[in-house]
A and B are shown apart, each in its own frame.
Chain A
Amino acid sequence: MSDETFILRSPGPSLLDGEAPAPRAKTRGFSLAMLWEVVRTGLVELWAHKVRSLLTLTLLMLGVFALVVMTSVLDGVMDKISTGFAGMSWDGTVRIAPKTAETAEERSRFVMSPGLRQEDLSRLTAPHPKVLAFLPRAQRASSVRITGDTERIFVTGVTPDYAVWMNRPIGLGRNLTEDDQRRRSTVAVVGATLAAKLFGGADPVGRDLVVEGVPFRVVGVQAPGQIFNEENYTDANGILIPLEAYMDRMDPAHKLAQVTVKLRHTEDAGEVSAMLLSRVRQAHHGIEDAEIVDLDAEAAKAYQNFLEQMHGWQVVLLSLAGTVLLVGGVGVLSVMLISFSDRRFEIGLRKALGASDHEIFIQFLLEAVVLAALGALIGTVSGGLLCQALSASFPYGLVVNPIGLITAWIVALALALIFGLYPAFRAMRLSPMEAMR
């Protein structure tokens, strides 16, 4: 017998002779210490089977990543669009436009009046303390011939301050000027979409566009913008020319499409509207053949339309992310089943050493949750990083959507719990004798 057997006689606390009262369990059942043991075991298992873990984590990670990025990007798009709605420059604005006769009486009265015309402008746009700017606009659909092809365009006559007040920044060349107005020049600023159609990538500044026989010299191209309403659309798909040139060359009747009025204070809308109507009435000898257009309602309609579209996208994207997460959940199921088979022996041993079925069940379930949480964590971090990288393209940056984040975590963890149930149940039911055989 070796001398190692004498080690047991070494002095020290009496642990082996069974006489000292055993420090008994303070708490049975699932304690915090057990939780840590489980999380630790789970992580060790994950680390021991890196490839397998990684494959499972990838799907959960992608699901969470997709949810986080998607909800955040949708937020960003909403921000951007809302900014775009501000870009319609319909805030603090009233508009007066010719009224279509609706009753027989109106029809007969309106015949007596020539409608809203350039000639009304001197009276209609007389300076007013509550008005920043009067922006008359005349428009017609026309076509332009270029290299043997005909393209439909919109020709819009505006004043030089139109681009400033209506937020139509210039991309190339210059905007219309007071000079153009005074000289009644046949110059044009081309909309971004039209410029791309007509000239491709080439610089159109300095070239001529012939519209209804009148050559217009291109002096500038509008910067590309988002299209939220009809005006955005017609401006992008047409040319802006001086109002005077428009009246001279395009429309001998001198008809105006509308006059947009920028207010100093939004709350003056009612007063200014009344003032505009009275001015028209005066100019038209008492015939009120113009009306105020409710831009708020128009904007609300457009915004509603946009929200509906966004909702559609949300449903599509959420379904996609949900599917990926679901597949991730199935991945958790398969990994936990493999883990169960791999560790039958360990399960048996733990039971032999005193783990209850209940504790084994919770251990397996929590391991599934740890797996999912790790995937969710990686997905969150990478999603957050992508959001940060994309941040520059959004007006207010891209902030991770907290609701998307929480939803992603809840779904990932809930799926892990649901799909972890079966393997945990099997581990629980395993008899220790059977497991260790």
Chain B
Amino acid sequence: MNPIIETQGLTKVYGSNGTAVHALRGIDLTVAKGEFVALIGPSGSGKSTLMAILGCLDLPTEGTYTLDGRQVQGLSGGELARIRNEKVGFVFQSYNLLPKASIARNVELPMLYAGVGRKERRERALALLEKVGIADKADKLPGTLSGGQRQRVAVARALANEPALLLADEPTGALDSKTGAEVLGLFRELHEQGNTLLLVTHDPSIAALAERRVEIRDGLIAFTEGAA
């Protein structure tokens, strides 16, 4: 299978000589296309840093990272923005919707930056909202929706440009257990349809849903559990 994520000796150092913090100390991680991987680890373990690099929000200090066949290290800010736009779909813990834009406009945002035409943007946004079950809210503002609904909007937005990788950072962290379970069900469906999922969590019961669990501790992969 083609790897979607392939990293070798990934390190990240913040600060300089005297006060340097080694957030990542050499991560070798491969995620195949269609895999559902949970990234676990206590806070301060470096999993957020790893997620930022895997999501092309940040660049590694050393090591190589290939995302969907594309070398990421050493790219310019503009090229990184483009890769984020085309290859990565983010789902954040706190939904991160633009509060003053309608649901449909929120979903359209990645397509806007991809240069998709207005009509097509709208059509695709409505189709995506239909898929996540909240098409009737298209013209509402995020503030009028429940937490679970907002996270569905965020999922629809993450899927907007049909990314190679879906990155979810504690996607149920702000939800009660029932709506959390619903959102997780949505992720499982996405996995079943062939999407590659990387889910960052500290909750072992959520991690248990994934095919594979990778635990990060002190900037290194502590152990991997499940089928590779």
* Chain A interface residues (CB < 8 Å from chain B): 1-2, 4-5, 7-10, 12-13, 15-20, 22-29, 31, 33-34, 37, 41, 44-45, 48, 345-346, 349-359, 431-433, 436
Contact = CB atoms under 8 A, between A and B. Distances in A.
Contacts of A34: 112-113
Nearest to A37: B112
A19, A28, A33, A352 pick with most chain B CB within 10 angstroms: A352
Given A4-B182, A8-B193, A354-B85, A33 B96 contact: no
B186 to A, nearest CB: 6
27 contacts: A1-B185, A2-B178, A2-B182, A5-B182, A5-B186, A10-B130, A15-B131, A16-B159, A17-B193, A18-B195, A23-B120, A25-B115, A26-B117, A28-B114, A28-B115, A33-B117, A37-B112, A41-B100, A44-B100, A352-B84, A352-B96, A354-B84, A356-B113, A357-B78, A357-B81, A431-B58, A433-B52
B61 to A, nearest CB: 14
Per CB-CB distance, the 3 closest pairs between chain A and chain B, nearest first, are: A354-B85, A5-B185, A354-B113
Given A18-B194, A353-B109, A357-B77, A24 B182 contact: no
Contacts of A17: 193-195
Contacts of B128: 15
A433 B190 contact: no
A343 to B, nearest CB: 10
Given A9-B189, A13-B127, A350-B113, 18 more contacts: A4-B182, A7-B131, A8-B131, A8-B186, A8-B190, A16-B190, A16-B195, A29-B115, A33-B115, A33-B117, A48-B100, A352-B90, A353-B157, A354-B85, A354-B113, A356-B77, A356-B113, A358-B78
Interface string B5-35: 0000000000000000000000000000000
Contact of A354 (B82, B130, B188): B82
A436 B96 contact: yes
Which of B113, B114, B133, B159 has the most chain A CB atoms closer than 10 A to its own CB? B113
B218 interface: no
Contacts, number: 137
Contacts of B124: 15, 23
Contacts of A16: 131, 159, 190, 193, 195
B133 A7 contact: yes
Nearest to A44: B100
Contacts of B131: 7-8, 10, 12, 15-16
B96 A345 contact: yes
Contacts of A13: 127
Contacts of A29: 115
Contact of A353 (B85, B127, B162): B85
Contact of B84 (A31, A37, A353): A353
Nearest to B188: A5
Interface in B79-108: 81-82, 84-86, 90, 92, 96, 98, 100-101
Interface string B171-207: 0000000100110011011100111000000000000
Nearest to A345: B96
A345 B78 CA distance: 19
B116 A356 contact: no
Given A16-B159, A16-B195, A26 B100 contact: no
B208 interface: no
Contacts of B82: 28, 354, 356
Most buried by A among B110, B178, B185, B195: B185
Nearest to A31: B115
Contact of B114 (A5, A9, A20, A24): A24
Interface in B146-181: 157, 159, 161-162, 178, 181
Interface of B: 52, 55, 57-58, 77-78, 81-82, 84-86, 90, 92, 96, 98, 100-101, 109-110, 112-118, 120, 124, 127-128, 130-133, 157, 159, 161-162, 178, 181-182, 185-186, 188-190, 193-195
A40 to B, nearest CB: 9
A27 B118 CA distance: 12
B1 to A, nearest CB: 14
Contacts of B133: 4, 7
A345 B127 CA distance: 27
B54 to A, nearest CB: 12
Contacts of B178: 2
Contacts of A8: 131-132, 186, 189-190, 193
B190 A12 contact: no
B185 to A, nearest CB: 4
B84 to A, nearest CB: 5
Best-buried of A7, A20, A355 by chain B (most CB within 10 Å): A7
A22 B78 contact: no
Contacts of B90: 352-353
B81 A356 contact: yes
Nearest to B124: A15
Contacts of B109: 350, 353
A13 to B, nearest CB: 6
Nearest to B128: A15
Given A18-B193, A48-B100, A26 B116 contact: yes
A353 B111 CA distance: 9
Given A4-B133, A18-B193, A349-B96, A354 B52 contact: no
A300 to B, nearest CB: 63
